[in-house]
A and B are shown apart, each in its own frame.
Chain A
Amino acid sequence: DAGITQSPRYKITETGRQVTLMCHQTWSHSYMFWYRQDLGHGLRLIYYSAAADITDKGEVPDGYVVSRSKTENFPLTLESATRSQTSVYFCASSESGTGDPGELFFGEGSRLTVL
């Protein structure tokens, strides 16, 4: 089925470990995004990508790494997880050609707990 999928949906890890959250979309959308959502802060942009091999920082990029070698994939890596990175992470995509890139389609989210 077409859509945007995230994996894993739930992850528990320990402080200092590396974690990668995967995001895959089948629409061939140009834009892909990673957001985190925390109580009291709402949705905050971590990184985004306007096309393959083009990425840019968002509001809260520290401690995260992204890559986009293929249009359909946009993995997010926490190089050394910290407790403050416990959050729900949402991947999203949008298409700038036929619409506004602000029209986002979200994945189901990945709930990450760092102990």
Chain B
Amino acid sequence: QKEVEQNSGPLSVPEGAIASLNCTYSDRGSQSFFWYRQYSGKSPELIMSIYSNGDKEDGRFTAQLNKASQYVSLLIRDSQPSDSATYLCAVNWAGAGSYQLTFGKGTKLSVIP
């Protein structure tokens, strides 16, 4: 069974610090990786996608992928209270053009002012 594992948290960081969220997955053949943010009582929204090893930066967010270690992470620089949310890691085992997506259970992030 293909699994996506995240630390449930809560992860607490002070405002302005770097928040580091981690995710591991069970299948080396996985192709596509995603980070979703979900505010309490709201629906998930896509914030980052990454497809190849290395780093991908978008504003204050950096996604890091290491396929050999089966590990994907999300760094949030200069964390703000508005970043407080649950972050969901998702893996598409099948790659572009097909669909076999599994979500992790999420890590709750709390940014302390």
By a beta-carbon cutoff of 8 Å, the part of chain A in contact with chain B is: 31, 40-43, 45, 48, 50, 90, 94, 96, 99-109
- Contact partner of B105 among A41, A45, A107, CB < 8 A? A41
The A/B interface has a contact count, at CB < 8 Å, of 58
Chain B residues within 8 Å of A, Cβ to Cβ: 32, 34, 36, 42-46, 49, 51, 88, 90-92, 95-99, 101, 103-106
A31 to B104, CA, bound (A): 21
> Which chain A residue lies CB-closest to B86?
A42
- The chain A residue with its CB closest to the CB of B90 is A102
With beta carbons under 8 angstroms apart, the residue of A41, A50, A99, A102 that contacts B101 is A102
A93 smallest CB distance to B (angstroms):
12
SS class, residues of chain A in contact with chain B: loop
22 A–B contact pairs at CB < 8 A? A42-B88, A43-B44, A43-B88, A48-B99, A50-B99, A94-B99, A96-B98, A100-B92, A100-B95, A101-B98, A101-B101, A102-B49, A102-B90, A102-B91, A103-B46, A103-B49, A104-B36, A104-B44, A104-B46, A106-B43, A107-B43, A109-B43
Query: In the complex the two chains form, is A42's CB within 8 Å of B101's CB?
Result: no
CA distance A90 to B96 in the complex (A): 22
A106 surroundings in chain B (CB, below 8 A): 43-45
A95 CA / B60 CA spacing, docked (Å): 26
A107–B106 CA distance with the chains assembled, in angstroms: 19
Bound: A105/B92 CA distance, A = 15
The answer on a CB contact under 8 Å between B51 and A100 is yes
